[in-house]
Amino acid sequence: MLGCCPESVKEDFSCCLKWLPHCFSDVEIRLVGGRSPERGQVEVMYNGAWGRICDDAWDKKDADVVCRMMGYPGSQAASSGGSFDEDKVKFWLDDVKCEGNESSIAFCKHRGWGIDNCDGNEGAGVICLVSNSSSTRNRSKQV
């Protein structure tokens, strides 16, 4: 499960072990600032606090994972650069790179929890696909 480690520590397995608990822990996720429940800026709960995901390298595969975590069939689009109202909360994840089939954003590659090089207007967002069976989803989901 070395894919959960930041690139900078992948060569050192003992150092990488400290990142593993984050890879296997439950992650709560929500969308904020959107006009409807299926769209908004992505926030994750980590260490008891909500934080954003930076839009560096953010793409549709990442958005698909987030939308499936929320109970939607996938994403219509990934958004970046402040497409939704920007919060002033911390960035928890940066350089997220999902394959697209992960069950949680925590299983995608990223720089490490709380490690970022992002400006305030770089929040990652999603527009999730809505089907008849997913139209009443909760805006906050723990997976």
The per-residue pLDDT for range 79-127, each reduced to its tens digit, is: 987 656 555 678 999 999 999 999 999 999 999 998 888 887 888 999 9
Does residue 1 register a pLDDT over 90? no
Tokens describing residue 26: 């439950």
Give the span between the Cα atoms of 135 and 58, in whole angstroms.
25
Give the span between the Cα atoms of 82 and 3, in whole angstroms.
28
Does residue 135 register a pLDDT over 50? no
C-beta separation of 42 from 31 below 8 A: yes
C-beta separation of 45 from 25 below 8 A: no
CA 127 to chain CA centroid, Å, is 13
The average pLDDT across 41-46 equals: 92
Determine what percent of the chain is predicted with pLDDT higher than 90: 45
Of 139, 123, 118, 56, the residue nearest 87 (C-alpha) = 123
- The average confidence (pLDDT) of the chain is 79
